[in-house]
Structure 1
Amino acid sequence: MAKDYVSMIRSLVGHTPIMMNTAAGILLNDNGQVLLNLRTDTHNWSLPGGYLEYGETYAQACVREYKEDSGIDVDIIRFLKIFDKGEVRYPNGDVTQTISALYHVRQIGGQPLQSETDETVKLSYFDFDKLPPLLNQQTADMLDYASKNIDH
């Protein structure tokens, strides 16, 4: 529904900048590295996560979107912070201010995606001090916050 919801809004407002709510998770491996996904739409890296569906909580969206983006089932360890200064410029000209809830999560099932999907090219773990090109400054801010507030 989230894609249909965004499509419906875009059909009404075109490329006018809009605000959207998102949720993302920080998953660390045993080496303290963070899992990121290479996005199909912008071709840069971000935390698994995405837009809330209508009626959904941030926590529910985090769990659902994590599975969609990574193939991994997660459980929330704790809420970390809201990040409300973020902008995404999509290749089609859409501009969105994202208000993102960040969670620390742990894997409880599923398997990392082994092939490209409509949202994720690939997954990889990275050291916090050796990150690839990121989606936006908000993603960088979330990773910086997590690196300072989660034991790894």
Structure 2
Amino acid sequence: MPKGYIKEIRSRVGHMPLILNTAAGILLNDRQQVLLNLRTDTHNWSLPGGYLEFGETYSQACVREYKEDSGVEVEIIRPLKIFDEGSFSYPNGDQVQTITQLFLVRQIGGQLLTDETDETVRLDYFDFDQLPPLMNQQTEDMLTYAANNR
């Protein structure tokens, strides 16, 4: 199935609540700060990551989404935890419960995007104890877990 699986589903079901699979990564700099992206859709911060395309694994989605969201090429160091609690309503009305596999990742190439894209306004590293306004409770839960399990 070509890229765009979620858009195809949404074209058929509208804004109805869906359970969707996502992958996200924790990338730390040399000061042990975590990379976050300021999202264009919600105007708050989240971990680079996103929805799996049909036929894709969690790790493949994490690597692909990381490159799309941040410009950085990563490899998986190890899975950290699956997060499956909480729902979220996007500004456009789409409702989701996400099941997210969180990974610890390391940079192997690329560089941080410097221009705004259709998904990312900007990128920055943050201390775990000085985080900006986050996208949702699940993002907060993932960062809390990662702060204690690096």
TM-score by length of 2: 0.97
The residue type paired with residue 130 of structure 2 is K
| Deviation string, structure 1 residues 78-120 (Cα, Å, up to 9, x no partner) | 0000000132211111111100000000000000000000000
Unmatched tracts of structure 1, length 5 or more: none
Q: Distance in 1 between matches of 2:12 and 2:64?
A: 26
Q: Is the 8 A contact 2:76 2:106 kept in 1?
A: yes
Q: Distance in 1 between matches of 2:87 and 2:43?
A: 16
Q: Distance in 2 between matches of 1:72 and 1:86?
A: 28
Residue 76 of structure 2 corresponds to: 76
Residue 107 of structure 2 corresponds to: 107
Residue 27 of structure 1 corresponds to: 27
Residue 143 of structure 1 corresponds to: 143
SS at match of 1:64: helix
Residue 134 of structure 2 corresponds to: 134
Q: Distance in 2 between matches of 1:109 and 1:44?
A: 26
Instruction: Say what the alpha-carbon RMSD is for the aligned residues.
Output: 0.8
Q: Distance in 1 between matches of 2:128 and 2:86?
A: 20
Q: Is the 8 A contact 2:87 2:96 kept in 1?
A: yes
Residue 42 of structure 2 corresponds to: 42
TM-score by length of 1: 0.96
The residue type paired with residue 120 of structure 1 is T
Q: Is the 8 A contact 1:88 1:135 kept in 2?
A: no
Q: Distance in 2 between matches of 1:88 and 1:104?
A: 24
